[in-house]
Amino acid sequence: MSYEPLVTEFLGVTLKNPVLAASGTVGFGREYETLASLSKLGGICSKGLTLNGSLGNDGPRIYETPAGLLNSIGLENPGVGRFIKEELPFMRSLGCAVIANLGGHSEIEYIKGASLLNDAEIDILELNISCPNILDGGMAFGIDPKSAADITKKVKAKSRHPLLVKLTPNAPDLIAVAAACEEAGADGLSLVNTFLGMAIDTKLRKPVFNNVYAGLSGPAIFPIALRMVHEVCKAVSIPVAGIGGIAAKEDALSFLMAGASVVQIGSMTFAAPDTMAKLVDELYDYCKLNALENIRQIVGIL
3-state secondary structure of 165: strand
- What number of chain residues touch another protein (CB under 8 A)? 33
Pairing, β 213-217 against β 68-71: antiparallel
Binding mask 237-266 for another protein (x = CB under 8 A): ----------x-------------------
- Using rule CB under 8 A, residue 65 touches another protein: yes
Closer residue to another protein (CB): 270 or 284 = 270
Pairing, β 68-71 against β 19-21: unpaired
Closer residue to another protein (CB): 24 or 169 = 24
Q: Give the distance from CA 155 to its chain's centroid.
A: 18
Based on its alpha-carbon atoms, the radius of gyration of the chain, rounded to whole angstroms, reads: 18
- Using rule CB under 8 A, residue 202 touches another protein: no
Least distance CB 209 / another protein (angstroms): 11
Closer residue to another protein (CB): 13 or 67 = 67
3-state secondary structure of 225: helix
| β-bridge partners, 197 | 214
| Contact stretch for another protein (CB under 8 A) within 172-180, 251-259, 267-275, 294-302 | 267-275
| β-bridge partners, 191 | 242
Q: Are 264 and 45 in contact (CB under 8 A)?
A: yes
| Contact stretch for another protein (CB under 8 A) within 100-108, 186-194, 252-260, 271-279 | 271-279
- Using rule CB under 8 A, residue 200 touches another protein: no
Least distance CB 261 / another protein (angstroms): 26
Q: Report the distance separating Cα 209 and Cα 190, nearest Å.
A: 26
Q: Are 254 and 283 in contact (CB under 8 A)?
A: no
Closer residue to another protein (CB): 46 or 152 = 46
3-state secondary structure of 223: helix
Q: Which amino acid is at 284?
A: Y
96, 131, 181, 233: the catalytic one is 131
Query: Before 13, cis peptide (omega within 30)?
Result: no
Q: Report the distance separating Cα 94 and Cα 250, nearest Å.
A: 27
Least distance CB 67 / another protein (angstroms): 4
Q: Which of 267, 275, 283, 286 binds another protein (CB under 8 A)?
A: 267
Q: Which of 37, 60, 175, 198 binds another protein (CB under 8 A)?
A: 60
Least distance CB 264 / another protein (angstroms): 15
Site for another protein in 112-171 (CB under 8 A): none
- Using rule CB under 8 A, residue 62 touches another protein: yes
Q: Report the distance separating Cα 277 and Cα 299, nearest Å.
A: 20
To the query of whether residue 131 is one of the catalytic residues in this protein, the response is yes
Q: Are 68 and 219 in contact (CB under 8 A)?
A: yes
Helices (H), 117-238: 140-143, 145-158, 174-183, 222-235
Closer residue to another protein (CB): 117 or 247 = 247
- Using rule CB under 8 A, residue 209 touches another protein: no
Residue numbers at the binding site for another protein (CB under 8 A): 24-27, 30-32, 35, 47, 55-56, 60-69, 71, 73, 76, 218-219, 247, 267, 269-273
* Residues identified as active-site: 131
